[in-house]
Chains A and B, each alone.
Chain A
């Protein structure tokens, strides 16, 4: 579970999605909806036949073209032309939309429909509506209040199966934007193109993610055009254990101005310098910040003690809250404001952390990452990401086993990677969703992309033990004690933070009921959930009626009382990697005292499976009328390549088989 993360800092352009369908109500486009004839580009695009190989797509994008016209100051005007054919009824809610913020302006936005029966329509003022970003984000359940970005949506007339929707918009982009991210797999495209028109003498840099680079054509002096034909849609709906869509979908980034540089490393450097310049002076410690940092670290003897004092303060006292106005999607507030108000988003929390560390002589830097592993691609320099964390310089020679999330940069500098937005993962460790990803380390001229560490399994997981008594009528009762380590403990702590007593009880009852239908949670207790330095202790007592089932003279009981490690698997051909989510070690030990008069007739076979990416060991033993179940599940990697599908299936089916294993008790 991710705790909280910043808004996706993607450069939003025109999108076609059903996300906001419910929010679209009659509204206006002002002067954007004036009657005008169907443009020739649209008539031409509509002649495109629907391709045969559309798969499950409910609509096909016949034509999609962006033109970015950059002026002498580097400011872009973006024009998009898009033709979408509706193929299935569920696509009737598709619409075109343009997002814009306070420092942007929609010059025009028009829509025409070429209906299936040959009639043509143009969207009127009343077919357009502006929706605030808060409404959009409410769908994603992110606690955002203050975000000024809006989206203009058009609800096309005559949007029936067979109709072709034509949209054209032009937007003056924010003056500070120097990158266009071209998402080329958001639908089933027949034809898509991107043009960039640069002032004489200007350079651009391009990078591609999960797609073989396409060579641009120079249509006119410094006017470049990329074209792609027949791009399939990336559909992950039926793909279990998949990496995030954004990590797998093809995209291209083109940058100009200060962000254009030659070569991968130079491009990352330019991006890092841009971030550092954007945040210049933001972390400067105010006297109050310096005083607080000194107060917090007074008496701290070493680097780690100082670090812990400050990170724990920020984790505990700075409330997560997003305030974004225009460039605020990228630029943090001043540390002094963040400290005074005691709230901020991920950039703000990082800024205050850098500030407080600076006040006690520790250097730290912005590290731009994505909350989904695989989105930041080391081979594809870009600002495309949604989260900001901190890279803290480790003093030369300092070693401490608690510093686990350590990266050594190209220049030999060691950095501790820390996410101050995650309020529950202690410094030294790293949330699982960040492990194995990449991030842009903004350290001025030495800015670079770095790989975030994958921690040893010992840094995450749980130790769970249970002692139960089984009655002859099948009722199981007993207690369970759990110690939760690392990110697993952090997720639990985060859950505790955002729930009250009633919600916790309901949640745990429903969780336990997955394994024990009809369970009653007799009691539960978390011990010192705020103490990040210790594993989170969780104790609970349960009673489950008819847990064991009578079968004639037999009593059937599942030794694996609680908890499941099995993931869904199927036999479908696999094209994308398996996301194993987190490394860790989970150990269960359950004792079930058997009812008087019953003896163990059969137990499931032991399991010992050791593979390079994970291992699973389980056994059931019976001694002195006690059935003992023990298992250890270890995950060593966060991702498995698609060509290891057979190994994944073997591993998961072994776990599933063990989890379903039944011991047979016989009446004496």
Chain B
């Protein structure tokens, strides 16, 4: 990651000149380009960008986009359709030029007026898009188009996505911020991500340029972390600071100052806290009681935020501070998290707010000097000298657990020593456990009747509890069964019986499920049963792919344990049970399988623990190897032998 300040002061801004940018012109194709049927630099690619350009003249309020594309396969034709959204009123697409160059070199100009379509329109805004498709496109065509976007005032700061789903031979990105009035009070800076990208920005006064050649297709793999850590990108932003430390020092102070009125315990908050805790309570008891009280409030992220008219009619106060949240007995997730901090402080606890970038959207980047990357608020409380991160804004999240997008999440926080950049802790596998316990009675035809108890805590339990906040319980049951049936053996039907603990977020959640169907395959002398009942159709990741280029994000660590008792049909004995397995990837994962046969039953146990959240591509080989063993072990079968019929007299 590199941070560059383009303009350090208003004085510099005035000095910076804005020469007219040079823009790419439509080019005659070379014979090589016309003949090209594939690209050795992008084997199998459906299309490649021969050239891609984006030029933004900030002060002039003009942005031009240019592309020159070679279509190599049928799929590549999709690049002939272009749609560019813009904010109506703030910008308009002034001019669109386009043409298709056939493989024989003849040119078909875009002669249909691009259509301006409404994307979304409200009272205070209208987002339109300009859309067109180039004519007469065939495999081998070269597509060329240019759009001129005119902004009413200055152009907004650009955000350059330097990688696309297609290989790019050359690209040129240019931004001239010269004399932008919007930068008068501070400056404009840029950050390139990810930190190991080869993107090198060239600077000349107020001008920033990126020229790249042979840009690979943007990676797209399963279980990737957010793309801001993967795709090459340049983000421009306004800043008042001339260094990262300077920026965050000032921003942190402003953040805390802005929150002061919200979280500073008022008389009402002190009164509320006093009514919730007892002076004899330990700090942890206080912390838990206050947490429980906040959890009881209406979390409008999970119910519904009231409209202005409703608030007026219900005489609800506009929320300006924690006491308003308490008075309304309602707030959104962020407001409730801050209320918790206020209540904790009022109860004499050391507590601080934290503002994080949600890990499913973005990984916090301190070199990107913008709080726009931050999403949700957490509360931190110190208990016995140890900091506990809490998630009061997540309805039904147990004390001490973080909703997964809030774990391992970077952001800014307050602390005993003042505000600073920080990160929330990772979860452990023990915090996210799923235990499947089943008893199955199999008859001589291979049919089965049984029931299962599914015991969940942590993230899995939170998921279903939050589903129950937004749906009635019958709907949640249906969703649970749909989720479960995907892993059960084919021919098995699950019907939901009941939940235990759905309303008690501090307890384990238990789902009772009835099972029936055909699981045994009789042969002449034997019957074959699935060895790991709950894993028969489990779709293990990281098995098919033997190489990996991007990091892996499995969201959270997890512990799974299965305990299945098969009651055997009369006259059958266990000939072979799943092998004992003990596969360990030290420190990261383990799998244990064991089985024990008694006279008329077989018990099969399985434990799988995944003790990681994020891995680098260098870890993939070990990960792949472990999951291969896991997938193979989960496919084991049980062989039952039919006893010979008793001899007659």
Contact = CB atoms under 8 A, between A and B. Distances in A.
B370 interface: no
B221 to A, nearest CB: 9
Contacts of A135: 119-120
B44 interface: yes
Interface in A26-53: 26-28, 30
Contacts of B132: 145
Nearest to A604: B523
Given A158-B306, A158-B310, A556 B83 contact: no
Given A497-B75, A517-B543, A157 B307 contact: yes
B138 A89 contact: no
Interface in A521-562: 521, 545-546, 549-552, 554, 556
B120 A27 contact: yes
Contacts of B634: 517
A147 B472 contact: no
A314 B644 CA distance: 68
B437 to A, nearest CB: 24
A656 B470 CA distance: 37
Contacts of B306: 157-158
Interface in B99-138: 112, 115, 117-125, 129, 131-133, 135-138
B317 interface: no
Instruction: Give the interface centre of A134, A519, A549, A657 by most chain B CB atoms within 10 Å.
Output: A549
User: Quick one: which of B308, B314, B526, B546 has the most chain A CB within 10 A?
Assistant: B526
Contact of B115 (A146, A554, A603): A146
A246 interface: no
A595 interface: no
Given A27-B121, A146-B115, A90 B45 contact: no
B212 interface: no
Contact of B309 (A145, A157, A317, A513): A157
A500 B119 contact: no
B417 interface: no
Interface residues of A, number: 86
A314 to B, nearest CB: 13
A26 B305 CA distance: 12
Contacts of A656: 490-491, 518
A602 interface: yes
Interface stretch (A168-176, A272-280, A502-510): A502-510
Nearest to A130: B121
A474 B115 CA distance: 60
Interface in B153-210: none
Contacts of A127: 307
A563 to B, nearest CB: 14
Most interface-central of B120, B308, B531 (chain A CB within 10 A): B120
Given A58-B475, A143-B81, A134 B129 contact: yes
A94 to B, nearest CB: 12
Nearest to A552: B576
Interface string B512-554: 0000001001011110100100000001100111100000000
Contacts of B74: 497-498
A129 interface: yes
A517 B540 contact: yes
Contacts of B576: 551-552, 554
Given A501-B43, A604-B523, A546 B118 contact: no
Interface string B464-485: 0000011110110010000000
A513 B471 contact: no
A22 to B, nearest CB: 11
Contacts of B308: 124, 126
Nearest to A553: B576
A178 B43 CA distance: 54
B423 interface: no
A2 to B, nearest CB: 17
A497 B71 CA distance: 13
A502 B631 CA distance: 23
Nearest to B75: A498
B227 interface: no
Given A58-B475, A549-B637, A570-B493, A521 B544 contact: yes
Contact of A546 (B81, B539, B632): B632
Contacts of A147: 117
A131 B120 contact: yes
B120 A549 contact: no
Interface residues of B, number: 75
Contacts of B449: none
A657 B631 CA distance: 23
B633 to A, nearest CB: 8
A549 B135 contact: no
A56 B474 contact: yes
Interface string B593-633: 00000000000000000000000000000000000100110
Given A341-B135, A660-B521, A556 B637 contact: yes
Interface in A85-137: 88-90, 92, 119, 121-122, 124-132, 134-135
Contacts of B470: 89-90, 92
A300 interface: no
Interface string B445-461: 00000000000000000
Interface string B281-319: 000000000000000000000011011111001100000
A132 B472 CA distance: 32
B387 interface: no
Contacts of A662: 521, 523, 528, 637
Contacts of B261: none
Contact of A340 (B133, B136, B631): B136
Interface string A310-323: 00000001010101
Contacts of A28: 121-124
B525 A88 contact: no
A479 interface: no
Contact of B136 (A30, A342, A497): A342
Contacts of A340: 135-136
A160 interface: yes
Nearest to B135: A341
A92 B305 CA distance: 11
A551 B152 CA distance: 75
A159 B304 contact: yes
A444 to B, nearest CB: 32
A653 B491 contact: yes
24 contacts: A27-B124, A58-B475, A90-B471, A90-B475, A121-B309, A129-B122, A130-B118, A132-B118, A145-B117, A158-B310, A160-B304, A321-B81, A325-B115, A341-B112, A342-B135, A500-B45, A509-B545, A517-B634, A552-B639, A554-B575, A554-B639, A571-B493, A656-B490, A657-B518
Interface of B: 43-46, 73-75, 77-78, 80-81, 83, 112, 115, 117-125, 129, 131-133, 135-138, 303-304, 306-310, 313-314, 469-472, 474-475, 478, 490-491, 493, 518, 521, 523-526, 528, 531, 539-540, 543-546, 575-576, 579, 628, 631-632, 634-637, 639
Given A27-B121, A157-B307, A545-B632, 9 more contacts: A27-B124, A89-B472, A129-B120, A134-B83, A150-B121, A343-B135, A498-B75, A517-B631, A657-B518
- Smallest CB-CB A-B distances: 10 pairs: A27-B122, A28-B123, A551-B576, A501-B44, A546-B632, A130-B121, A509-B544, A157-B307, A341-B135, A88-B472
